[in-house]
Structure 1
Amino acid sequence: MSEIDSALAPQIVDGRQSPTALRVQRGVMRFLRSVHDMTCFAEVPLVNGRRADVIALGGKGEIWIVEIKSSVTDYRVDSKWPDYKDFCDRFFFCKPPELDAGIFPADEGLMVADGHWGDIMRPAPHAPLAGARRKAMLLKLARLGADRVHALMDPATLRDGSF
């Protein structure tokens, strides 16, 4: 593993993601960046104790959360996904191509992605964040992005800022 790979590993790939989930993550992030001009953050801890798989930030401050589900079992054992909706303007599930779309709630957004690309299968309802929550999320994402860049520039720096 290169120095850059090892610096990113603790923040982005923490060993909890399946190979399928990592492929879906890469494809959906490529899609959101290329088609929707959104900056994406992977594995973002939220103040409610949850961890968003992908948070996408648009140029006008819009925030989307994408919850990746790699299998039927992954979806069925997860009852926490409604907790993400308080932290975004739009919420989507994202699935690999081989997973049946019918398992997901019809009133939620749905994306599909593989290791190369993604697409929106069903748009997500728009539920604008309150101003204070938006500001808190924007500050969180700015700090998280800066911390991840710092870890790339100085791999000896630990998450708590010590050396």
Structure 2
Amino acid sequence: MTSTLPLIARSLQFAYSEAEDRLSLLASDAERRVVHVALTRRLTNSLVNGLANLLEQSSPLATTAPADLRDDIILLEHQDALYGETQVPSPVAVAGGEETRLNVPAPRLVQAVDVNITPRTFELLFRAGPSPLIRLSLTRLEVHRVIENLSQRAQAAGWNMSVESAWMEPGQMEIVFN
């Protein structure tokens, strides 16, 4: 199904392509049109760490807190996004298990992701060179879910991504209350 680009995504599905050693994202819009893209290790690493850094810098609570509490504040926000009781349905859908194969045409390789932060959303634009492919508007909690999904897929693929934010360390669940 052909669509006008960029596709205004309402949902995402994530999968790993072992043959290409890339993460696949299948974005669909309200009319169920789809765009299939692939992310390299390097771009995935930059995207995960970049979004995590932007979450830290844009948190009103974390930026005004003492330095030794900032990671804990973002970790609490992250855990709320993943496990909180007040979750609303997210446009970020997760494709099945690690063996998930997307039965769609070959993906277009994403070369860059532009991120613009508004007071309420993170606006992401996935591009292949100058050509826009997918536009995605996410809340803070949805950004946490995207980061988690990308991180889990990269970990399952054995990519051993470097993590630049302490709150994103694998197994990070301990929060220190003073």
- TM (norm. structure 2) is 0.24
- TM (norm. structure 1) is 0.25
* Higher fraction of helix: 1
